[in-house]
Structure 1
Amino acid sequence: MLDPIVRFFQRAFAALGRGIGLLVAWLVWPFMAAHGWYSGRSWIIKGPLLALLVLFVGLYGYFFWQTQVWSRFDPDFVEEYRLTERTVPAGQEIPAPTPAATDAPSAGGAQCQSSAIVDVVADLTDVNVNQNAWISSMLLYRLGLFGIDWDHTPFLDNKASFQRGVNQAVRRTSVELVDTLARVRGTSGINNDLQDARNNLQFDEYSWYFGLSPFGPKTPTPSYYRAAIDSFRKFNTDLAACRSTFDSRADNLVQFVDRIANDLGSTSAILRERSENYNGGWFDTRADDRYWFAYGQLYGYYAVLSAAGADFSQVIRERNLAPLWAETLSQFRSALRIQPAIISNGREDGWIMPTHLATMGFYILRVRSNLVEVRSVLDR
């Protein structure tokens, strides 16, 4: 009585084996055909083709390495700045040490407190383009996977999205530095170094050495961002020598916090739209770049707001904002602890595939809620 069942499974496994064999043959056939054609050619043809193959493998090996290795990625890197040791708000003159406090001779000239915000945005950009390759403008990233944009695949795009998220925070901060923070009540002239930094950071994130629109050679994106780093450093050098301005008033902090809250609100809307309308679980190929862009943005703003706590220390102290400010930074840090290996965009009421986009959106809204509360306190 078991013979028909045994024969059924024998036929099923035999068919499965033939299917796998045909699939392997179909996958291997192009390589076998190419090998047969290649082996019959002279070295005049073999040599250039072999060189192209080595170049192709080398480029993809380098591309894979750069997309998978994240240098200097550390959500706690702000601890390196020792921001709590800064006792003077940015732009204000540092009291000269008393003769009893130091045996060093006086250097002469006033010394002002440099801006921690400017230090942070310069360092964030430096990590993006100097200590890591800027993925979005690499040739193989521009070419995509057989012509498909890497952002539309589940592969090799997480770091690029993270970098663009960090850059979004830096861009927004550079605008506020030019328009309000580095001007006296908005009536003084715009600082040329910060203006140059802002203009360079607005440059296209995807430019390589050559482009089609317009057709011809181009300056790649990292070159512009490196120029922005130099401009930020120059501004802070001048600020430390009291030759530049940083206006650490409460209304400037109100506007800065408001702009950041609005920027995060926009990202929250993007996450919500993707989470509600595309429930592909682990198979949603756009969920990972949406997630890591938001993560990078939070990473950047966490550092920027940590630095703002030092630059506006007097305002925070006078308005009794220290506990609320610390709680806001704690909310940022809580969001940065979520680092899933595979991003899933499942249903919110699902029980198999998680919904990482909704989780990240929840943390962004918590952060935004705290920022709105900070703004409310400052506005009183």
Structure 2
Amino acid sequence: MLDSITALFRRMVGAIARWLGLVFVWITWPLLAAHGWYRQRNWLIKLPVVAFVTLLALLYIYFIWQTQIWTGFNPAYPDVYKFSDRKLSAGQELPAPSGQQAAAGAPKTCQTSAIVDVAADLTDFNVNQNAWISSMVLYKLGLFGMSWDDTPFLDNKASFQRGVNSVVRRTSAELVDTIGRVRGTSGINSDLQKARGNLQFDESSWYFGLHPFGPKTPTPSYYRAAITNLRSFNADLGTCKALFDGRADNLLQFVDHIANDLGSTADILAKRAADHSYGWLDTRADDRFWFAYGQLYATYGILSAAGADFQQVIAERNVGTLWTGTITQLQAALRIQPAIISNGPEDSSFMPSHLATMGFHILRVRSSLVEIRTVLGGR
């Protein structure tokens, strides 16, 4: 038994050494060839080359810094909002301050939407507090033409951001179609419509593109515009000029769609875990894991906010305990932050299956959401 374990470790070390050797040769041979060519050039050519290489080096330093430093990352971020202090559901008229008589003709004020606040702040976290990695030119160029997603390097933050954005996109669609309007009796809110359109924009657009060929508006510009749209809607909601339809069927549909999205992610994780169980050598395990983590990270904030926005419905349908349990499950999932993602066999003692672990937590959350959906539907 001991001999077989020792042999396994030797094979692993040998495989890693060979892989690192190939990577080293792959990286260094173009540099050696370029150095030989450079030595034979005159200064009219050397100076522009030096300037270009210096600029490229600075860009790579900035790129690597942005991929490794996660500004504002906080798995407990919903606590900052103090949703428990909100006493009314979103869209309900706020009472006049205690001890004061409302002045004649004074404008009404209504409770703003916590969901909209969180969606705007998550987008701000993605594109203002941090650089949006997926549209950076060096991310698009990849590692010698290979997509960073196909390597174990520098793609975790990009995957996490896309996971967060997938939930914000879903939320913006629900706000436009159902929550931000009274179904059948009101038009689509223009701010929410613009926000959804901006958030649906291509995640990897840079200042210039090939399909179609020519200059483009980069992705972060659209997402920043969506932040403005969302905050504008909430400002109108605060002055009772916008609508928030906090009905049980709207919450049911929202929960149902979130549950379906999580189910799709769990299926992706399960397939990856089953078909590519190479332990630490699976180069796509990290981006699968961090996309799922980003999805849960955003879902935690959005569902915490929904608990405040739909508090009356949640109380009337007696789903408070289920809702709190779901939030607790999300908190437990977000505590999983391995330094290196492993996609090993589920029964492995040496290379854990982090994808299977994350999939388990996602399915727990999804199961709770399905139960909430059932209670809300009265079935």
Fold conserved between structures, TM > 0.5: yes
Closer/same/farther in 2, CA of residues 183 and 159 from structure 1, 3 Å limit: same
Give the aligned partner of residue 366 of structure 1.
364
Q: Share of identical aligned residues, percent?
A: 66
Compared with structure 1, are the counterparts of its residues 37 and 237 closer, same or farther at alpha carbon in structure 2 (3 Å cutoff)? same
Q: Which residue of 2 aligns with 1:116?
A: 114
The answer to whether 1:210 aligns with 2:239 is: no
- State how far apart, in whole Å, the 2-side matches of 1:261 and 1:133 are: 29
Change in Cα spacing, 1:28 to 1:139, as seen in structure 2 (3 Å) is closer
Query: Residue deviations 1:85-130, cap 9 Å, x none?
Result: 0001000100112335x9x989921000000000000000001001
Cα distance change on mapping 1:148 and 1:33 into 2, 3 Å:
closer
Count of aligned pairs between the two proteins: 357
Matches of 1:316 and 1:364, distance apart in 2: 22
* Partner Cα distance (2:335, 2:167) in 1: 19
Secondary structure, counterpart of 1:99 in structure 2: coil
For 1:192-341, list aligned pairs within 5 A.
192-341=190-339
Q: Which has the larger radius of gyration?
A: 1
Question: Does 1:353 find its partner at 2:351?
Answer: yes
* Comparing 209-218 and 35-44, the one that deviates more: 35-44
Q: For 1:213 and 1:191, how far apart are their aligned partners in 2?
A: 32
How many angstroms does 1:131 deviate by?
A: 0.7
Q: 1:271 to 1:32 in 2, by over 3 A?
A: closer
Query: For residues 111 and 338 of structure 1, do their structure 2 counterparts lie closer, same or farther at Cα, with a shift above 3 Å needed?
Result: same
Give the C-alpha shift of residue 344 in structure 1.
Answer: 0.6
Distance 1:258 1:24, change over 3 A: closer
Matched, 1:56 2:86: no
Instruction: Report the Cα distance in structure 1 between the residues aligned to 2:250 and 2:29, rounded to whole angstroms.
Output: 66
**AA at the equivalent of 1:129:** V
Q: How far off is 1:188 after superposition?
A: 1.5
**Alignment correspondent of 1:90:** 90
Q: How has the CA–CA distance of structure 1 residues 277 and 24 changed in structure 2, closer, same or farther, with 3 Å as cutoff?
A: closer
CA deviation profile, 1:243-289 (whole Å, cap 9, x unmatched): 00001111111111111001100111101110111111101011111
Structure 2 unaligned regions, length at least 5: 1-22
Cα deviation, residue 61, structure 1: 0.4
| Aligned 8 A contact 1:180 1:186 in 2 | no
Show the counterpart of 2:43.
43
Instruction: Report the Cα offset of residue 368 of structure 1.
Output: 0.4
Q: What is residue 5 of structure 2 aligned with on the other side? A: none
Displacement after TM superposition at 1:187 (Å): 3.5
> Structure 1 148/180 Cα, relative in aligned 2: closer, same or farther at 3 Å?
same
Residue aligned with 1:211, SS: strand
Sort the Cα spacing of 1:293 and 1:240 in 2 relative to 1 into closer, same or farther, 3 A.
same
Letter in 1 for 2:106: G
Change (3 A) 1:268 1:343: same
> Which sections of structure 1, spanning at least 5 residues, go unmatched?
1-22
User: 2:43 corresponds to which letter in structure 1?
Assistant: W
Q: 1:33 to 1:364 in 2, by over 3 A?
A: closer
Give the whole-Å Cα distance in 1 for the aligned partners of 2:115 and 2:138.
34
Match of residue 129 from structure 2: 131
Q: From the superposition, tell whether residues 345 and 28 of structure 1 become closer, same or farther in structure 2 (CA, over 3 Å).
A: closer
